[in-house]
Amino acid sequence: MRVLITGAAGFLGSHLAERLLKEGHEVLGVDNLATGQRRNLERLGRYSGFTFLQADVRYPLEVEGPLDWVFHLASPASPPRYLRLPLETLLVNAEGTRHLLDLSLAKGANFFLASTSEVYGDPLVHPQPETYWGNVNPIGPRSIYDESKRYAEALSVAYHRVHGLSIRIARIFNTYGPFMDPEDGRVVSSFIVQALKGEPLTVYGDGSQTRSFCYVDDLVEGFFRLMEVGYPYPVNLGNPEEYRVLDLAHLVRELTGSSSPIVFRPLPEDDPKQRRPDISLAKRLLGWEPKVPVREGLERTVLYFREVVDHIV
């Protein structure tokens, strides 16, 4: 196959691209490098089937040759990044999605949207099934990401209904693993970097808020299984095992051998208190569930960060 991946220099995009390349497919990676990492492109550049196009999907893309799949993974995804790039985030998920849907139509390609558990906002239903409509503040600080992803889902489904376009939508819950950006501000990378550098681990609120952490290889496997079914509506992909943020901080300290203290800061506005996927649909439709335990996945992730943390200023 020939596959286009936006956000190919990012954490998830580079993992997806590498698996496709290892299986012998051709990958055209697209990224504007606003938040993507050049080290990920260097890793992908070792494969003969990889080509890179530096471009911004807020504007229409011109791509020569056939395409079998268009994966839209481009978007700042961590709160510090999308709060720094609010208009860019809104537009890459709105106009960017429209341009890539149009490209998929023109090429006769399947379209795959990387959506997010953030569409559930600060959920009042726990765990969250795909049938839950969410509890999102439409003008809160996180709405630039939450609402633009909700719009991207609506637009994708509209293209399916109006044009018959083959689409897939993955609602991704917290994912971690090697090749995360050490400076992206997400809780796993932040805790590991702080622990390895001997800095205090920053917990927001009292640490009782929960998250569900899925190892990246499990998530990519979920992508591949979703590709194989003709289901055009959202599917949760994440780990149903729930962790308190404070417990994660203690586990990271243990795995890194760090004596860093834990400090507490005020909880950011609209920060969800609980986040856990109901993956009943993924189990039934895809025969998928995560295989890598959090402790094992974190051990692999810490090994990667030990190699790169010395280069962080």
Which residues are part of the catalytic machinery?
145
For 218-250, the DSSP string reads HHHHHHHHHHTS---SEEEES---EEEHHHHHH
Q: Give residue 168's identity as a one-letter amino acid code.
A: R
Taking the C-alpha atoms of residue 22 and residue 158, their distance in angstroms, rounded to an integer, is 34
Percent of residues in the chain assigned helix, strand, coil, to nearest 5? 40, 20, 40
Cβ proximity of 29 and 9 under 8 Å: yes
| Pure H helices in 164-287 | 187-196, 216-227, 245-256, 280-286
Beta strands 210-212 and 242-244: pairing type?
A: antiparallel
CA–centroid distance for 206 within its chain = 26
Two tokens, residue 153: 């889902």
Two tokens, residue 49: 């089937």
Q: What's the half-sphere exposure (Cβ side, CA atoms, 13 Å) at 260?
A: 27
